[in-house]
Structure 1
């Protein structure tokens, strides 16, 4: 009989065989699979799927794979969770330019998730650990929303909850509180299950830990139910009848920019159709009309022909139009919304402030050009940033403007409301991303903003999906994709501010402080533990 036993070294200690060492290494890789799958589960909770509740088992599983891990293991597992989540979520970023930018973006963003994983593993040994862990997740999102290149908030947990029971929490403290509630509930769910299984195996039920686990699940749910009182569709400043125009584009993809005149003509044509239907009594006369971002990439201040056709549309419908244009002024390029009055012409403008890196400007241009000169040709001239919040006075209604990418940034939407907006519009251009999930993800963001600030939100998009959203987050009308269409509806105008609007960044700052406190406690506890272990070893010798 052949025995493959462990060997004994010179000091007499038993050494594991090569096969048993390999087995242990393989065993350590086992959590990698569920870590990645939990990330995929979180992705599946995002639109266009109505599976918001999948975020709970996603974070329950994430807590399971991280609890008690070393920092090195947690870093790897966190990165795999981030890849599982972000790779499918952001695949639209490579629709027209290939997989390179998509993979690079995901590789960078997953690093933030990996660092959060290290923090969660560290605090998982503390009492009430779901609290510290959920705060750490929010802290990670706060960092991602700010760096690098002014941040990339896409993929905030809150943006997957537009159809969920936790949605009213957005009115309490914005996306940080909504995201915190979801993640806390997920981690608390795992902790409750873990304690039950531990008890069944004959372990002692720790009452304090059990109460903390139950509260981690119950408090977000009860808080969401209580917060429904903050969500209202009641008109506070009368109503307005709005029209949203989706003109469509000649064809999807980057090349449509070469057909700027055609895009403008399409939006004029759909507005003229609206005017004809109003005259025929088929639809109500709107108080104003909202066009999407890039609906006139032909600069109407420089091109008399563009100004003429826009003026024709405004005159026909007889009300002001908010036009999305690309404007050059003093040698600088702006992504601009222009308020076009049927009698006075252009009267107000709003320049987009949060411009998109690698989409509207090229960071590190000289470095990128040194690597490959062709890459800099994708964006020959950078857009410049606006400096003032956009609030148009449209026939007596104060309309806040957050252009496309800006809807992902808390501050860019909030300050339109603090500057008097009675409703919000998010003019967008998603044609570049074809029929990907991007437009549905962005629509969900607008639904969150509606509840966060208790304002009706319109989403005019060049190629879809355009929509009208009530202050409670309900989508009352929407278009298909790549079809010309208009939407007309009376919406409530509101002036009151939710706690989220009033407090602004404060809830996020408090949660970051909680995360820092938990992490500090975990580090201090680890240092004390190592010192005690060292002292015991010395005394044992």
Structure 2
């Protein structure tokens, strides 16, 4: 009997589904499960697939893992986008194909002390570049960044002000990679542990020495109005009006309504503007509302934050700048407009704003507004802090995803933005989860769940000063890109020299 020659080891049938499953394992680290302790280990099964026989196979398994990650972290979009969720996840998952090849190159083969030091840095840098690329608004924005899963962890809250969510993501992936090196390469174990201890000591020292925000001497009393699920713009306005009236005499300085809390142009409805002004006089507080309507003299529909005082709307208005892809506009509508026929994609594009503003109340409270999806973007809250805002207010609505993980995930982002910017963040929603966090990212008072139709009154201390992240921005991302560039250059030079020696 003649045996057929084989060209090499054949991939096992289980590797593809294993990569798909492993890619989804980080999802429980985020709310609602909130298994934050899982984040330092969640990538280990995916990274153990480093034994792919070829670089092409590693790229395939990287893509499948990316597909699994995007589906698991964004599964709550399925009721809105249906099959289009799978299409988007497959496209965005391609960003992990090069990462699969990078992980194979750095982790496959015998372990050495040099690899123990460089592999965690390289794999983590590659992951961070992927997070940066998919954070572009047109690709869905920075939802599900791994570092954001640590929003309630003390050490992470001290690192967010240093390097933002990017630094925490970088360190988490490095820890996952180091665990793989320790498990698979006994010879590199001590070098890996020593490098890890050095990085931990350095991070601790930097966090301790980093500049901190300066809280104000006087606390501001901020009220949040959460009407719950109410059908119809007129009925929602009425309920918010009744809830706000109940705050009279309680000393609130500002009352915050959620995103799309007013469904009519106040200039075209002076009766509603008058009712809001009357509420301001009755409560002794200014109202920050959000108008989701067409405005006179402007094209399309805008989502606009408006501060209303005793005499009516006052100060600069803020138009939401970062719109939700498919939810508030359809990218390349001429090509992707068919998404409106298979899900609840936007039938008409919203009109984006062009600049951020800082609003000031009559009592001198300087507030920087954000609208819903915008709390996912680290740069927006950082700019507001640099512009002099002492408090950041996020007006949101996740009523479409009421029974999913989305409301809790969205509220958790406010804690990350607070710690990064060194500013308290008030996250006010129509239907929950509403929450408030101080300048260090720690919760202030009880949060309002999705089952509540109520108000909440919170005491927060506005802050001034700059964190390291506000001053230096996304330096962790730049460091990751630089590491990859230098490492790529070294490999290229070695290959050229190797060819020359032949």
Judging changes above 3 Å, is the alpha-carbon distance between structure 1 residues 291 and 171 closer, same or farther for their aligned structure 2 residues?
same
**CA distance in 1: counterparts of 2:496 and 2:45, whole angstroms:** 28
**CA distance in 1: counterparts of 2:169 and 2:48, whole angstroms:** 19
Aligned residue among 163, 167, 183 for 1:177: 167
**Residue matched to 2:490:** 521
Aligned residue among 328, 352, 357 for 2:294: 328
**CA distance in 2: counterparts of 1:378 and 1:449, whole angstroms:** 28
Aligned residue among 68, 73, 83 for 1:100: 83
**CA distance in 2: counterparts of 1:106 and 1:221, whole angstroms:** 38
Local SS of the residue matching 2:289: strand
Local SS of the residue matching 1:427: strand
**CA distance in 1: counterparts of 2:218 and 2:477, whole angstroms:** 33
**CA distance in 2: counterparts of 1:483 and 1:317, whole angstroms:** 22
2:234 is the counterpart of 1:261 = yes
Could you list the per-position Cα deviations for residues 148-179 of structure 1 after superposition, in whole angstroms to 9, with x for gaps in the alignment? x2652111111111123433211111121111
**Residue matched to 1:412:** 380
RMSD of aligned alpha carbons? 2.8
Aligned residue among 94, 101, 117 for 1:118: 101
2:46 is the counterpart of 1:56 = no
Higher deviation after alignment, 469-478 or 490-499: 469-478
2:25 is the counterpart of 1:41 = yes
**CA distance in 2: counterparts of 1:321 and 1:412, whole angstroms:** 22
TM-score by length of 1: 0.83
**CA distance in 1: counterparts of 2:263 and 2:385, whole angstroms:** 28
Query: Contact 2:157/2:416 (CA < 8 Å) preserved in 1?
Result: yes
Local SS of the residue matching 1:458: strand
2:132 is the counterpart of 1:163 = no
Aligned residue among 3, 6, 22 for 2:3: 6
| CA apart distance, 1:129 | 1.4
Judging changes above 3 Å, is the alpha-carbon distance between structure 1 residues 523 and 108 closer, same or farther for their aligned structure 2 residues?
farther
| CA apart distance, 1:145 | 1.1
The number of residues matched between the two structures is: 490
Higher deviation after alignment, 133-142 or 344-353: 344-353
**CA distance in 2: counterparts of 1:528 and 1:69, whole angstroms:** 26
Larger radius of gyration: 1
Q: Which runs of 5+ in 2 are unaligned?
A: 109-113
**CA distance in 2: counterparts of 1:525 and 1:437, whole angstroms:** 48
**CA distance in 2: counterparts of 1:528 and 1:44, whole angstroms:** 47
Q: How does 1:334-349 map to 2 (within 5 A)?
A: 334-349=302-317
Judging changes above 3 Å, is the alpha-carbon distance between structure 1 residues 247 and 141 closer, same or farther for their aligned structure 2 residues?
same
| CA apart distance, 1:528 | 6.0
**Residue matched to 2:447:** 478
2:414 is the counterpart of 1:454 = no
Local SS of the residue matching 1:400: strand
**CA distance in 2: counterparts of 1:473 and 1:214, whole angstroms:** 31
Aligned residue among 182, 189, 197 for 2:179: 189
Query: Contact 1:143/1:151 (CA < 8 Å) preserved in 2?
Result: no
Query: Contact 2:393/2:427 (CA < 8 Å) preserved in 1?
Result: yes
**Residue matched to 1:317:** 283
Aligned residue among 220, 224, 228 for 1:244: 224
Query: Contact 1:325/1:338 (CA < 8 Å) preserved in 2?
Result: yes
Judging changes above 3 Å, is the alpha-carbon distance between structure 1 residues 54 and 218 closer, same or farther for their aligned structure 2 residues?
farther
Query: Contact 2:316/2:357 (CA < 8 Å) preserved in 1?
Result: no
Judging changes above 3 Å, is the alpha-carbon distance between structure 1 residues 242 and 231 closer, same or farther for their aligned structure 2 residues?
farther
Local SS of the residue matching 1:325: strand
| CA apart distance, 1:62 | 2.8
Aligned residue among 206, 223, 227 for 2:203: 223
**Residue matched to 1:66:** 50
**Residue matched to 2:401:** 433
**CA distance in 1: counterparts of 2:165 and 2:19, whole angstroms:** 24
Q: Which runs of 5+ in 1 are unaligned?
A: 8-14, 197-204, 251-255, 279-283, 536-541
Aligned residue among 442, 455, 460 for 2:410: 442
| CA apart distance, 1:136 | 1.0
**Residue matched to 2:265:** 299
Query: Contact 2:306/2:313 (CA < 8 Å) preserved in 1?
Result: no
Judging changes above 3 Å, is the alpha-carbon distance between structure 1 residues 427 and 170 closer, same or farther for their aligned structure 2 residues?
same
| CA apart distance, 1:463 | 0.1
**CA distance in 1: counterparts of 2:49 and 2:288, whole angstroms:** 50
Judging changes above 3 Å, is the alpha-carbon distance between structure 1 residues 526 and 151 closer, same or farther for their aligned structure 2 residues?
farther
**CA distance in 2: counterparts of 1:182 and 1:234, whole angstroms:** 29
